């Protein structure tokens, strides 16, 4: 487990791709179905029985919103194998969209699930609440963004043979592929000659789609940024090709997240390694035409050393224009949450923890993967930590960088979901509802496989005592039908 968390922290590898197909799985599905049928009459007895027999090891926690299920936690099976949720967005109507990757039969697909506000699967979405999409031989979605018209955009990767490219899909509000987008609802784009991967997506106010990640040519990895027109074609007003790559150090540079400023400028964050020192936080700002913004730190680029092997996994822009990066670094022998805040000119904001940077220890193997900023200026960071097994971790900071003691008493909360590792995943893994409640997504291991995992927290990290305790929102049944679009 320590190896898995370390891999997540250092961002060297994707989630482990083990395939599970136990002969006892059919019996487990049937038992779960029968148990859920009884929960309306015997909730207490059922929960005890589930815990006793090990089918559901998701105990109630005081840190989650009970209206989202008796525990505030949801696990959802997608496809026939492991399923890892990596990004989340909230629609204007409050429905929750979660994207990631589904593994089955020597392949992987884009995966998308939509939930109602109470955590139940939205059956108006592809009739099951779930959809998987094949792109090439192996594919996975790393990020999701909502368009103003309700269409849903996913960005990730597609692999054929030894080549890996940026991959995008766009869905209509009912879960069908949008054929006005590249005629198929799917598009792939080669940026470099070796391995490309889209990590993050954002939609501009004019509807153009901005995708950030990294690109490799001759084993040299750089930040990569691509902009598409609304129909899925490359936007040639952006760096004349629709694509731009940026070297930061003399070694490997990985872009992991994108954010848009109100003036249309584009921020991309990740890490940089110059070949002689450790990895550093890296941040680049582009003008709307794809050129580097030299009003930002003189070069359009800035790197920041935080601990050892620092990597920024997520970026958010405050209402005052200041820029917050969240990720992880090593402090001593353990990894920790790491944050940095920059002024609009690219300098570190010294009003944030006195230095512009901070680290936070939670357990062991801590890794922050997603950040968002509340309307009151408080900063919410989600990720994972190891306390026995890996758990979801959520931290809230005051605007000055101090821990917010009104949140769960310490500013920190950890949540156990499944029977083994629970990882609040990389990308846009945290989102805020209009009522201020906090959603965190990732994946959880239970009964031999990984499931999409979703947790909702109250604004203070405590219980919603007015919640109606209904049957547990557990969606680990066999999906039907298998897939809506290929």
pLDDT tens digit string along 310-331?
999 999 999 999 999 999 999 9
Q: What is the pTM of this model?
A: 0.83
Which residue has better confidence, 417 or 24? Answer: 417
What is the DSSP code (8-state) at residue 458?
A: -
Pull the structure tokens for residue 283. Answer: 């941040």
- Assess whether pLDDT exceeds 60 at residue 148: yes
Q: What is the pLDDT of residues 26-63, one digit of tens each?
A: 333 333 433 333 333 333 333 333 332 223 333 223 44
Identify the pLDDT of residue 251.
Answer: 82
Strand spans (E) along 275-322: 280-286, 301-304, 308-317
What is the DSSP code (8-state) at residue 478?
A: P
- Assess whether pLDDT exceeds 70 at residue 65: no
H or E segment to which residue 30 belongs: helix 25-38
Tell me if 192 is assigned to some domain: yes
Which residue has better confidence, 431 or 476? Answer: 431
Helices and strands (H, E) in the chain, number of each type: 3, 30
Tell me if 285 is assigned to some domain: yes
Beta bridge partners of 339: 326, 358
pLDDT band with cut points at 50, 70 and 90 for residue 447: confident
Tell me if 464 is assigned to some domain: yes
- Assess whether pLDDT exceeds 60 at residue 482: no
Identify the pLDDT of residue 12.
Answer: 34
Tell me if 480 is assigned to some domain: no
pLDDT band with cut points at 50, 70 and 90 for residue 183: very high
Identify the pLDDT of residue 3.
Answer: 35
- Assess whether pLDDT exceeds 70 at residue 19: no
What is the DSSP code (8-state) at residue 92?
A: T
Into how many domains does the chain fold? Answer: 1
Q: Select the highest-mean-pLDDT range: 43-52, 62-71, 270-279.
A: 270-279
CA distance 390 to 421: 5
Q: Residue 86 maps to which CATH number?
A: 2.120.10.30
CA distance 234 to 56: 46
Q: What is the pLDDT of residues 85-125, one digit of tens each?
A: 999 999 999 999 999 999 988 899 999 999 999 899 999 99
Tell me if 484 is assigned to some domain: no
CA distance 422 to 102: 16
Identify the pLDDT of residue 463.
Answer: 32
Poorest-pLDDT segment among 43-52, 227-236, 375-384, 461-470? 43-52
Which residue is listed with tokens 């990389």?
A: 426
Identify the pLDDT of residue 66.
Answer: 58
Q: What is the pLDDT of residues 278-293, one digit of tens each?
A: 899 999 999 999 999 9
Task: For residue 297, give its domain range.
Answer: 2-475
pLDDT band with cut points at 50, 70 and 90 for residue 73: confident
Cis-peptide, bond into residue 103, ω within 30° of zero: no
Contact call for residues 96 and 88 (beta carbons, < 8 A) = yes
pLDDT band with cut points at 50, 70 and 90 for residue 137: confident
Contact call for residues 187 and 168 (beta carbons, < 8 A) = yes
Poorest-pLDDT segment among 37-46, 85-94, 217-226, 227-236? 37-46
Contact call for residues 133 and 167 (beta carbons, < 8 A) = no
- Assess whether pLDDT exceeds 80 at residue 25: no
Pull the structure tokens for residue 291. Answer: 């050129």
CA distance 278 to 284: 19
Identify the pLDDT of residue 391.
Answer: 86
Average per-residue pLDDT in the chain?
A: 82
Share of the chain above pLDDT 70, in %: 78
- Assess whether pLDDT exceeds 80 at residue 200: yes
Q: Select the highest-mean-pLDDT range: 66-80, 155-169, 200-214.
A: 200-214
Tell me if 448 is assigned to some domain: yes
CA distance 228 to 426: 23
H or E segment to which residue 446 belongs: strand 438-446
- Assess whether pLDDT exceeds 60 at residue 486: no
Average pLDDT score over residue span 208-222: 92
CA distance 212 to 229: 15
Pull the structure tokens for residue 461. Answer: 């990290």
Contact call for residues 270 and 214 (beta carbons, < 8 A) = yes
Strand spans (E) along 301-348: 301-304, 308-317, 323-331, 334-342
Which residue has better confidence, 161 or 340? Answer: 340
Tell me if 482 is assigned to some domain: no
Average pLDDT score over residue span 399-426: 82
Identify the pLDDT of residue 64.
Answer: 58
Burial 280-318, CB ≥16 within 10 A → b, else e = bbbbbbbbbebeebeebbeebbbbbebbebbbbbbbbbe
Tell me if 403 is assigned to some domain: yes
Q: What is the pLDDT of residues 327-356, one digit of tens each?
A: 999 998 899 999 999 999 999 999 999 999
């Amino acid at each position: 487990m320590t190896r898995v968390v370390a891999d997540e922290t250092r961002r060297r590898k994707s989630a482990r791709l083990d395939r599970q197909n136990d002969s006892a799985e059919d019996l487990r599905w049937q038992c779960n179905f029968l148990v859920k049928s009884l929960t309306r009459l015997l909730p207490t007895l059922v929960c005890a029985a589930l815990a006793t027999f090990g089918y559901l090891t998701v105990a109630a926690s005081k840190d989650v919103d009970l209206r989202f299920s008796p525990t505030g936690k949801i696990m959802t099976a997608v496809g026939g194998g492991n399923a890892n949720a990596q990004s989340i967005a909230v629609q204007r109507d409050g429905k929750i969209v979660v994207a990631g990757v589904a593994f089955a039969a020597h392949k992987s697909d884009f995966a998308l699930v939509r939930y109602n506000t109470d955590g139940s699967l939205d059956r108006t979405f592809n009739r099951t609440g779930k959809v998987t999409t094949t792109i090439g031989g192996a594919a996975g979605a790393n990020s999701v963004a909502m368009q103003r018209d309700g269409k849903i955009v996913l960005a990730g990767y597609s692999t054929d043979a030894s080549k890996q490219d940026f991959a995008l899909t766009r869905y209509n509000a009912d879960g069908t592929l949008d054929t006005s987008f590249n005629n198929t609802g799917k598009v792939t784009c080669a940026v470099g000659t070796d391995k490309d991967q889209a990590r993050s997506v954002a939609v501009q106010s004019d509807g153009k789609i901005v995708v950030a990640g990294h690109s490799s040519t001759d084993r040299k990895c750089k930040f990569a940024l691509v902009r598409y027109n609304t129909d899925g074609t490359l936007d040639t007003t952006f760096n004349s090709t629709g694509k731009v790559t940026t070297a930061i150090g003399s070694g490997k540079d990985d872009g992991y997240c994108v954010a848009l400023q109100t003036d249309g400028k584009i921020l991309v964050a990740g890490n940089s390694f110059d070949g002689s020192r450790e990895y550093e936080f890296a941040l680049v700002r582009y003008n709307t035409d794809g050129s580097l913004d030299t009003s930002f730190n003189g070069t359009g680029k800035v790197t920041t050393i935080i601990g050892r092997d620092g990597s920024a996994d997520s970026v958010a822009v405050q209402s005052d224009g200041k820029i917050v990066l969240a990720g992880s670094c090593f402090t001593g022998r353990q990894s920790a949450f790491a944050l940095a805040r920059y002024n609009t000119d690219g300098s570190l904001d010294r009003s944030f923890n006195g230095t512009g940077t901070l680290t936070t220890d939670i357990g062991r193997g801590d890794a922050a993967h997603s950040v968002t900023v509340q309307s009151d200026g408080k900063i919410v960071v989600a990720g994972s930590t190891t306390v026995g097994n890996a758990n979801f971790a959520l931290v809230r900071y005051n605007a000055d960088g101090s821990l917010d003691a009104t949140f769960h008493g310490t500013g920190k909360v950890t949540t156990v979901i499944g029977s083994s590792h629970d990882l609040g995943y990389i990308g846009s893994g945290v989102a805020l509802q209009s009522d201020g409640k906090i959603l965190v997504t990732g994946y959880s291991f239970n009964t031999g496989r990984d499931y999409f995992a979703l947790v909702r927290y109250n604004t203070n990290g405590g219980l919603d005592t007015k919640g109606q305790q209904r049957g547990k929102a557990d969606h680990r049944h066999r999906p039907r039908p298998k897939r809506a679009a290929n």
